[in-house]
Chains A and B, each alone.
Chain A
Amino acid sequence: MSKIHITTKVNGEEVEFLADPRDTLLDCLRDQLELTGTKEGCSTGDCGACSVTVDGTLVCSCLMLGVEAQDKQIETIEGMAQDGELHPLQRKFIEHAALQCGFCTPGILVAAKALLEKNPDPNETEVRYWLAGNLCRCTGYDKIIRAVMDAAAEMRGAA
């Protein structure tokens, strides 16, 4: 079994790694690039803990092969804060206590960021349906939804 050399951009930085063709993008991010912020919760695309964006589209990295990353632009949780400054979503999550164990948090933040880039003024139902693929077992989702809507409001105010 031979590995394939992949060059791609992750969080704006060009990186390279060797991928076994059967490795998922999630495997490669975590094990080859040591970006462990993206989590594995199920490997069946049911929990969203592995959420990243690829060329601007929100996907489960467990449902993509590492070899498919060639020449793509990938954004992970590690790229969300810019120059040491937290994204409003990250700040609001802390402020609203929208995390308990924190394991689902990276996936939810990446997903919520993708939502607000597409729709800066979602209502509660739209937020809930967008995040339906991000399981949280600790919070019951209440504070997560509040944090996302509060961040959206702040980002609209600042715009």
Chain B
Amino acid sequence: MAKDTANELRIVGTRPDRPDGLDKVTGRARYGADISAAGLLHGAVVRSPHAHARIVKIDASKALALSGVKAVVTRDDFPTGLTGEAWDLQENTMAGERALYDGHAVAAVAATSAQLARDAAKLIEVEYEILPHVTDVDAAMAPDAPIIREGAADHSVPDGLHPNVVRYIEFGHGDLEDGFAKADIVREHQYKTEAAHQGYIEPHACMGQMGADGKGEMWVCTQGHWYIRKMCTQVLGLDASQLRVTPSEIGGGFGGKTTIFMEPLSLALSRKAGGRPVKIVMSRSEVLRATGPTASASMDVKIGMTKDGKITAGSATFRMQGGAFAGAPVDMALYCAFAAYKVPALQHVGYDVLANRPKAAAYRAPGSPMAAFAVESLLDEMCNELGLDPLDVRVKNAAQSHETSSFGPKFGVIGLNETLAATQAHPNLSAPLGPNQGRGIASGFWFNHGGDTSVSMALGEDGTVTVSIGTPDIGGSRASMAMMAAETLEIPYDNVRVNIVETGALGVNEPTHGSRATFATGKATVEAAQGMIVEMCKRAAAKWGIEPDAVEWRDGAAHPAGPNAGEYPPMTIGEIGAAMSNTGGPIAGHHESVPAGVGESFGTHVVDVEVDPETGRTTILRYLVVQDAGRAIHPAYVEGQYQGGAVQGIGWALNEEYVYDDMGRLQNPVFLDYRVPVASDLPMIDTVIVEVPNPGHPYGVRGVGETGIAPPLPAVANAVAAATGVRMRHLPITPSKLLAAIKASKNG
């Protein structure tokens, strides 16, 4: 039975060194591109320079004539007949009839060196017929917008909308008209956010090898290798079991590495090149142009509030484009929009719209940051208008445990009240502010997730334990799993080794996404450990000749349970391991499930900024993250998630956006002009870990990775408004835009 009071825990809640720390500080850890193999070829991808174009002809003869070039693939090398999401993936992996965005892959080549592959790619001649394009979400819904794909809308979409609208969602509760009527003020505004990229420092990289029989192996940096296996085999028309995928270490993902981009190309090239392994490493500009950023959003929000701060009604209409395929996270954005509040009447409407942009991928709490920007900004505007304290208003309307959420299901135990209280008590709130400085506050939410989980655990002959998990370690989760295993088995942390194993070694695992690894893999690890404990107690019971239920597990050993069970010296895990061959065979635990009991996570952020009124440049002076982690298994890694999410949000609020020219070409596909925060842009990020344990997890864990990116967008906008008196409703708040707004406000 797992302990649930903090002072009974020996390991959980402490800060041991992570087991892969040595490898990662010495350069020994191997990431996606850090692999080689005999006969290695290098792949390069030819990409459309046009936002929308019919592919008339592809001539690879000049490339194939180069000595050292071993294979070229186009869409003709892929099976036909796919439908639905599988077709979308295939179409994105390699263009069919049309190139749908600047950067869309149209051909790929494998050669004996990376330099030669790049040179060969330049020799592949592609003839295009340029078509009209559209990149803006609102423009893509207008009657005259170019049609990106006929018939892509599903049954959810009402009649009369442009074919680019592919999904529609509508939900709500209560009497909206009545709710607004009960308000003292009703305000509505439009808010917009631009597409942002996850910005992981490691570009996508893989090495694929596939023989003529369709059996293949892949080494790839990924958040989820079972997804890679499923998607590659779907796109290539293979059986899942024919492909074995081994995850490398991963240099960041944030959701962007939960899907495929060029991975099937390495397999297709390999098969065509006689089964030689093919390595493909994306350049940074390929990453920005052709992998999945998140969606851009155009949002209308309306809120009614009484003059003492009670929210009486709210409505949200969100339009989001996820590139040339369905999948903008408009549904999740709407679910998150009012999640932090109890509102008697709510209406949500959402449109998922196609545009000539790359296929969007998940980015840390997909949809939640955009929704938070809109709703939390409007709430802030209304609090200012009524002269109310924004934290008091949040407390007054806070969603409560066990009550129906804004998006339908009942919450379990949630910690929103506790994060608000912790924020109100924090000294940052009383830091003095000088001229041109302002403070902004905002809250945010993420559901977190369970999902397919499969874990296996094995006892060594010396009593040490190996845990096999399927969720790649993005931010220290090996340590957390080892801690939970060691805590449950009551053995030293150093006696547990956690391995992330390939797809052949476990049942299906969902990726490390959705803030699920510590929760789901952790819960399965605990279950597997408990299974092993049962078996180890059985072995001791057999040796002692007593019933198994007369044996208990304590301090890493089997003990007779109570004086009536008999007097036997304890059998340590080491002794059981040494004897296991003779007592019944290998001892292992395993657990497969879609775990229930996911705990939602709320956070509240406070940011102080200074704005240079002559240039519009915003400096972050002070930043506080207060977030409910349920239970922090390893507090340092929880703090790290809070800080990382906050800084990504700051970048999104101030500087990051996809800039397209009037030909639909991406103008900023390199880090010079896709501006992520640098070390000198930021102060230290203060964190408070609130712990309202999640009863659905043996140690109370809630996911922590995602919630933290939602509040920064509105918090920064709110702080800029406080510092300048100017309300920015279109992110990012670049100096250009802010200075123009400041000047306009001065001119009346």
Contact = CB atoms under 8 A, between A and B. Distances in A.
A–B contact at 8 Å CB threshold (below)? yes
Given A46-B671, A81-B26, A99-B24, A39 B643 contact: no
B684 A94 contact: no
A66 to B, nearest CB: 11
Given A44-B672, A137-B200, A100 B27 contact: no
A68 interface: no
A76 B27 contact: yes
B684 A103 contact: no
Of listed A128, A129, A146, residue having the most chain B CB within 10 A? A128
Contact of B26 (A80, A104, A144): A80
Of listed B474, B475, B648, residue having the most chain A CB within 10 A? B475
Of listed A22, A95, A100, A140, residue having the most chain B CB within 10 A? A140
B104 to A, nearest CB: 22
Contacts, number: 182
Contact of B676 (A20, A106, A135): A135
Given A36-B30, A144-B679, A102 B684 contact: no
Interface string B26-53: 1111110110100000000000000000
Contacts of B25: 86, 90, 93-94, 99, 102, 105-106, 109
Categorize the interface residue count of chain A: 35 or more
B284 interface: yes
B685 interface: yes
Categorize the interface residue count of chain B: 35 or more
Interface in B235-257: 249-254
Contact of A142 (B22, B202, B684): B684
Contacts of B387: none
Contacts of B34: 30, 36
Interface string B656-687: 00000000000000111000111110101100
Contacts of B201: 39, 41, 47, 49, 101, 103-104, 135-137
Contacts of A138: 252, 474-475, 640, 644
Given A43-B284, A137-B648, A140-B647, A97 B24 contact: no
B637 interface: yes
B636 interface: yes
Nearest to B635: A97
A53 interface: no
Contacts of B27: 35-38, 76-78, 106
A144 B677 CA distance: 14
Contact of B682 (A46, A106, A133, A141): A141
Given A47-B671, A140-B643, A103 B252 contact: yes
Contact of B643 (A86, A131, A132, A143): A143
Contacts of A119: none
Interface string A62-85: 000000000000001110110000
B476 interface: yes
Contact of A37 (B15, B22, B28): B28
A61 B254 CA distance: 27
Contacts of B648: 137
A6 B222 CA distance: 36
Contacts of B309: none
Contacts of B343: none
Interface in B516-562: none
A4 interface: no
A139 interface: yes
Interface string A17-35: 0001011000100110011
Nearest to B634: A97
Nearest to A108: B679
A140 B252 CA distance: 13
B20 interface: yes
B572 to A, nearest CB: 30
A30 B18 CA distance: 26
A90 B677 CA distance: 24
B644 A40 contact: no
Contacts of A152: none
A135 B685 CA distance: 17
B323 interface: no
Given A100-B474, A137-B199, A138-B475, A44 B671 contact: yes
B498 to A, nearest CB: 15
Contacts of B18: 94, 97
Given A134-B679, A142-B685, A100 B26 contact: no
B252 A101 contact: yes
A9 interface: no
A47 B285 CA distance: 13
A137 B17 contact: no
A128 B202 contact: no
B163 interface: no
B24 A137 contact: no
A140 B687 CA distance: 12
B646 interface: yes
9 contacts: A46-B284, A97-B640, A101-B250, A129-B679, A137-B252, A140-B677, A142-B643, A142-B684, A143-B636
Interface of B: 15, 17-18, 20-31, 33-34, 36, 113-115, 198-203, 249-254, 281, 283-284, 474-476, 634, 636-637, 639-641, 643-644, 646-648, 670-672, 676-680, 682, 684-685
Given A97-B639, A106-B27, 5 more contacts: A30-B33, A36-B27, A37-B27, A39-B251, A94-B25
